[in-house]
Structure 1
Amino acid sequence: MATTQQRCDRAPAWAQLQSYFETAGRQFDLRHAFVEDAGRFARFSQEAPHVFADLSKNLLDVRVEEMLLKLATECGLEAHRDAMFAGEHVNNTEDRAVLHTLLRAPAGAASNRTAGELQEVHATLDAMLAYAEQVRGDHTITDVVNIGIGGSDLGPQMAVLALAEFTAPGKRFHFVSNVDGHELAGVLRDLAPEHTLFLIASKTFTTAETMANALSAKRWYEQSGGTDIAGHFAALTTNVEAAKQFGIDTTFGFWDWVGGRYSLWSAIGLPIALAIGADGFRRLLAGAHAMDEHFRTAPLAQNLPVRLGLLDVWYRNFHRFTSRGIAPYHSALKRLPAYLQQLEMESNGKQVDASGAALPPGLGTSPVLWGEPGTNGQHAYFQMLHQGTDVIPLEFVAVRDAAHDLEGHHPKLLANALAQAQALMVGKLDAGGHKNFPGNRPSTFFVLEKLTPESLGAFLAMYEHRVFTSGALWGINSFDQWGVELGKVLAKDIEPRLATGDITGLDASTAGLLERLKR
């Protein structure tokens, strides 16, 4: 049985935090904090596996962090974390274990409870990586098209772009997720069937958008002269029979204890393995596992994902910040914000706790997460961050060592990241008002020494455990996603109406729009 979570608003430390926020937290000034504490940077920064984090420019002091840590203890965070790693069914609404951490665990690292699952994981991993190496060595395959959506698209796409430096030459990677045919048509336009491998990523092999694109890709392949479906299509699915009926012989499966947004470490990560090779994929897993072990074993006060998750609770529930930006200062991380959006908002965008009880007014859960690569954002939305009426915490991701040798570029990039974080904090006084920067705007600064499979794996695992931490304190189930279902059900009803024009039973707005779109 999974452990019982104590919802944070019912814990004794919650009232203490509320009181402290009203007397000191609301008026907290970062500039004064640095003047008063010469050791603030060291106190609020931390080295974790492959990731350095500076939390010192956030609106918290030692007293706040102590109370947040007390809150975590009172809510049973450690027991809930241990239950997840042990394979207990912490996904209570679907009665499932949550074992994505097992996907990156080395052989022999599992408990007695999960030893069988780990053996299956490594058997699948070995088979998948052997296939990846086979395809990588086949020079007739020049293009790989991954067809999936949600977790079957965002994670692999983000990682392949992020690790482009490690990608073998001679292969191009394309990702199709949108049921909008313009996306698939744009990809197919430049492909030759004899040189293309399609990956169909769908756990059930029934996902509506994915199967629509898969069937169109199959028609294109056959109409373009292709005759070897089995040789040019592979499936990442547990529905082997449906894949076989489609004409696919090569399948790699995964398990119901792997949520979609946590699945890039599984067979869903085949595009990553095709790009960076078996050794590169194992390095990605190793980086994530190192962060798993940090989260599992480090004391809460020195546990980076825990400290980040507690900061999220402090901001969301006391400062009432409803949004958080992320600015990766590395062009290869351009899809990182989109990936993290799903990870956090699909996990923690909930309004009831794990027991199904409605959360009380004021107990906000997931913030809106958004962002773009760094210097591009500076010339777009940073205006609002500096001078807007809303305070929006921002997270910088910088990479110390460049992967190119273009003179002068990387120092400019890093200088911009450092300067923006500094400007958000210090501000600038202008009596006229128009050039006044209020300052005291919080930010977190992450540093990776290099962008490698290990550092990317560790950073993503850190974020997963951060989301787990805040969700655990809110007492919600971070591992279901019922909110994505209603629209899918209604779409099945509406689609045939676009052909027939039947508006019976529809609300006036939907009926009017349907008639407009039908014309």
Structure 2
Amino acid sequence: MTSLTQLPAWQQLQSLSRNLAGEHMRDWFNQDPGRADRYSLEACGIRLDYSKNLINDQILAGLFDLANERQVGNKRDAMFAGEIVNHTEGRAVLHTALRNFSGKPVMVNGEDVMPEVLATQDKIRNFVERIHSGQHKGYTGKPIKQVVSIGIGGSFLGPKIMFEALKPYWHQAITLHFVANVDGCHIQDVLSGLDHEETLLVMSSKSFTTQETLQNTLTARDWFLKSGGGRQDIARHFICVSSNIQAATEFGIDEENIFPMWDWVGGRYSLWSAIGLPIALGLGYKHYRELLEGAYAMDRHFAEAPMQQNLPVLMALLGIWYVNFFGAQSHVLLPYYHYLRGFPAYVQQLDMESNGKSVAGNAEQVDYSTGPVIWGSEGTNGQHSFHQLIHQGQVLIPADFMLPLNVHNQNEAHHAMLASNCFGQSQALMQGKSYDEAYAELAGKGLSEDKRVSLATHKTMPGNKPSNTLLFGQLDARTLGALVALYEHKVFVQGAIWGVNSFDQWGVELGKVLGNNILAKLQKADADLDFDASTNALISHFRQANPGA
């Protein structure tokens, strides 16, 4: 057994989970009319109803004991203070500094990083204003109307999903496009419909060597040059976010149009840095600033609220409860809002890349589950596909429902129907349908007794399936910032309890290295193949189909 599973709180929670056998949430709600009020919290414009969870006061107390025994509060404070919490890479973790509006310094290795952070925010604001006002023009004098953002991972997902979620706030002067996949079909599709004279390309790569991003940027440069632009014109149409200034200037980018990155910001947290420049270009700096302010508000809540009233802590503990004491292997996110449809994919990277680990910080192999599979889709689409598994499948799948109480240009009939589905699904997961209820529903249907019994059995749903419901007044930039930070801190708390480093990603790095080794063999047809038999055969088939690669 590991140090975590030997803790008194862990042992107590194991006992409490066994004691729930035979208990049903439906009965708890019948016995306690005040359950929903007692098990709800609100902060930063987000209301969390967690009453439809397999919990009671004793279980919650045990979960908070576990957080205390794992020193979650101390680890949180160390992160905010700029201490080295990414121990495998020897780095501080300070995405929170990028949205720090306290006026207080944030120290890393004895140096206050806030002056450079604030200077970068000013640089973003000034550049966005120059684009939107038409002051920055293309090389032929045309104003910039199209922006292509080229990145991968967090440099792609963060800007893309935040921009899509805030569609009602899009700036009318700019059309924003996103490219990530190295599959050439994507960038060709995007560039084919653009006028190079009015297009700005934003390349985001800390090293300026990320394979997918660099290749897409080279393709974009070729397109620009073939369309009529000269090498001297690249500076008017290409900008980048990178720490490799030399590589960027050699590419042709004006040094004034290079925005900085820092090694204390991980890729999946980078939207708060200059990686978020496309968001500011697409929305305007005012809404981009509000996104940061919403995240800052959640930072303050996470840092200051008592554990029992702390939204990220509570959601993290509920996740721990199901993963480690009920064997849940996945967690589904269900945004009932079309513009938030990409949010599950964002949290998927945030959570799975952070906590998908099997070694704790002390290099001890863990003997408990970490990092559930995160997935999901917008409501009500999922109700006609995978909800069936959640309702009647044999696996426990906790769910997070999300709904704005109001939307832009609201159609009352549509929105009421959307909300009714959201609330109805969470209710159905909780209460289910008993065999007796299903049997009674079939009375007078002209069925034989055997058919009625059989059909009632198939229509029975056990219920007792846990879910959270998150409500917010309207999904504006400030609320979205708070929502993203909520999940960031949830992931941090779970990593702190599991004892894993939530801020490295060695599993990602290995695939990159091997992929580069294989690429060299693909591009040199006479190179000896010295991989495993399967990989050698796959390369041979590719070479035969692509003799000119």
Aligned residue for 2:74?
79
Amino acid at match of 1:77: V
TM superposition shift of 1:501: 5.8
**Aligned mates of 2:380, 2:323 — CA distance in 1:** 27
- The superposition leaves residues 236-286 of structure 1 with CA deviations (integer Å, 9 ceiling, x where unpaired) of 111111110010011101211100101101100001111121111111111
**Aligned mates of 2:172, 2:111 — CA distance in 1:** 38
Amino acid at match of 2:533: A
TM superposition shift of 1:476: 0.7
Of 219, 229, 238, the match for 2:222: 219
TM superposition shift of 1:180: 0.3
What pairs up with 1:397-436 in 2 under 5 angstroms? Answer: 397-429=402-434, 430=438, 431=453, 432=455, 433-436=457-460
Of 13, 38, 41, the match for 1:43: 38
TM superposition shift of 1:385: 1.3
Q: Residue 427 of structure 1 contacts residue 440 of structure 1 at CA under 8 Å; is this kept in 2?
A: yes
Aligned residue for 1:504?
529
Aligned residue for 2:165?
162
Amino acid at match of 1:29: H
Secondary structure of the corresponding residue to residue 5 of structure 2: helix
Kindly tell me: are residues 80 and 176 of structure 1, through their superposed partners in 2, closer, same or farther at Cα, counting changes over 3 Å?
same
Corresponding position: 1:126 with 2:150: no
Corresponding position: 1:453 with 2:460: no
**Aligned mates of 1:423, 1:464 — CA distance in 2:** 29
Range 421-430 or range 468-477, more displaced:
421-430
Amino acid at match of 2:402: V
What pairs up with 1:117-196 in 2 under 5 angstroms? Answer: 117-138=113-134, 140-196=143-199
**Aligned mates of 1:303, 1:47 — CA distance in 2:** 9
**Aligned mates of 1:112, 1:384 — CA distance in 2:** 48
Q: Residue 108 of structure 1 contacts residue 115 of structure 1 at CA under 8 Å; is this kept in 2?
A: no
Corresponding position: 1:290 with 2:297: yes
Of 224, 234, 248, the match for 1:243: 248
**Aligned mates of 1:381, 1:501 — CA distance in 2:** 48
Secondary structure of the corresponding residue to residue 326 of structure 1: strand
Of 263, 276, 284, the match for 1:269: 276
**Aligned mates of 2:4, 2:32 — CA distance in 1:** 30
TM superposition shift of 1:28: 3.6
- The superposition leaves residues 339-363 of structure 1 with CA deviations (integer Å, 9 ceiling, x where unpaired) of 1001000000000001211112xx1
Corresponding position: 1:395 with 2:394: no
Q: Residue 348 of structure 2 contacts residue 374 of structure 2 at CA under 8 Å; is this kept in 1?
A: yes
Query: How many pairs are equivalent?
Result: 511
Kindly tell me: are residues 258 and 237 of structure 1, through their superposed partners in 2, closer, same or farther at Cα, counting changes over 3 Å?
same
- The superposition leaves residues 441-478 of structure 1 with CA deviations (integer Å, 9 ceiling, x where unpaired) of 11110011101010000000010000000100001110
**Aligned mates of 1:294, 1:11 — CA distance in 2:** 28
**Aligned mates of 1:354, 1:44 — CA distance in 2:** 33
Q: Residue 106 of structure 2 contacts residue 112 of structure 2 at CA under 8 Å; is this kept in 1?
A: no
- The superposition leaves residues 85-122 of structure 1 with CA deviations (integer Å, 9 ceiling, x where unpaired) of 11100111111111111110115133566872011100
**Aligned mates of 2:88, 2:16 — CA distance in 1:** 35
Corresponding position: 1:108 with 2:103: yes
Corresponding position: 1:517 with 2:542: yes
**Aligned mates of 1:71, 1:28 — CA distance in 2:** 23
Aligned residue for 2:450?
none
Secondary structure of the corresponding residue to residue 284 of structure 2: helix
Corresponding position: 1:385 with 2:390: yes
TM-score with structure 2 setting the length: 0.91
- The superposition leaves residues 468-518 of structure 1 with CA deviations (integer Å, 9 ceiling, x where unpaired) of 001000011101111101111111111132241656322222122222222
Q: Residue 34 of structure 1 contacts residue 40 of structure 1 at CA under 8 Å; is this kept in 2?
A: yes
**Aligned mates of 2:308, 2:207 — CA distance in 1:** 41
Q: Residue 50 of structure 1 contacts residue 287 of structure 1 at CA under 8 Å; is this kept in 2?
A: no
TM superposition shift of 1:11: 2.1
Q: Residue 28 of structure 1 contacts residue 60 of structure 1 at CA under 8 Å; is this kept in 2?
A: no
Kindly tell me: are residues 28 and 101 of structure 1, through their superposed partners in 2, closer, same or farther at Cα, counting changes over 3 Å?
farther
**Aligned mates of 1:357, 1:501 — CA distance in 2:** 44
Kindly tell me: are residues 71 and 241 of structure 1, through their superposed partners in 2, closer, same or farther at Cα, counting changes over 3 Å?
same
Q: Residue 501 of structure 1 contacts residue 515 of structure 1 at CA under 8 Å; is this kept in 2?
A: no
Q: CA RMSD in A?
A: 1.5
- The superposition leaves residues 152-206 of structure 1 with CA deviations (integer Å, 9 ceiling, x where unpaired) of 0000000110111111113111110000000001101111101111000001101
Corresponding position: 1:66 with 2:61: yes
Aligned residue for 1:480?
504
TM superposition shift of 1:10: 3.6
Secondary structure of the corresponding residue to residue 380 of structure 2: helix
Range 261-270 or range 436-445, more displaced:
436-445
Q: Residue 236 of structure 1 contacts residue 267 of structure 1 at CA under 8 Å; is this kept in 2?
A: yes
Secondary structure of the corresponding residue to residue 92 of structure 2: coil
**Aligned mates of 1:306, 1:351 — CA distance in 2:** 22
Range 46-55 or range 423-432, more displaced:
423-432
Q: Residue 201 of structure 1 contacts residue 237 of structure 1 at CA under 8 Å; is this kept in 2?
A: yes
Q: Residue 135 of structure 1 contacts residue 141 of structure 1 at CA under 8 Å; is this kept in 2?
A: yes
Amino acid at match of 1:327: L
TM superposition shift of 1:26: 4.2
Kindly tell me: are residues 256 and 415 of structure 1, through their superposed partners in 2, closer, same or farther at Cα, counting changes over 3 Å?
same
Identity level (%):
47
Secondary structure of the corresponding residue to residue 127 of structure 1: helix
- The superposition leaves residues 288-320 of structure 1 with CA deviations (integer Å, 9 ceiling, x where unpaired) of 111000000011011010001111111110001
Aligned residue for 1:3?
none
Kindly tell me: are residues 514 and 74 of structure 1, through their superposed partners in 2, closer, same or farther at Cα, counting changes over 3 Å?
same
Secondary structure of the corresponding residue to residue 474 of structure 2: coil
Query: Where in structure 1 are there 5+ consecutive unaligned residues?
Result: 1-5
**Aligned mates of 1:66, 1:257 — CA distance in 2:** 34
**Structure ID, larger Rg:** 2
Q: Residue 202 of structure 2 contacts residue 240 of structure 2 at CA under 8 Å; is this kept in 1?
A: yes
Secondary structure of the corresponding residue to residue 332 of structure 2: strand
TM-score with structure 1 setting the length: 0.96
Of 200, 205, 211, the match for 2:203: 200
**Aligned mates of 1:109, 1:365 — CA distance in 2:** 35
**Aligned mates of 2:420, 2:208 — CA distance in 1:** 47
Amino acid at match of 1:135: I
**Aligned mates of 1:416, 1:501 — CA distance in 2:** 60
Kindly tell me: are residues 136 and 483 of structure 1, through their superposed partners in 2, closer, same or farther at Cα, counting changes over 3 Å?
same
Corresponding position: 1:299 with 2:295: no
- The superposition leaves residues 399-419 of structure 1 with CA deviations (integer Å, 9 ceiling, x where unpaired) of 001112435211111111111
Q: Residue 11 of structure 1 contacts residue 75 of structure 1 at CA under 8 Å; is this kept in 2?
A: no
Of 356, 359, 363, the match for 1:349: 356
Q: Residue 86 of structure 2 contacts residue 93 of structure 2 at CA under 8 Å; is this kept in 1?
A: yes
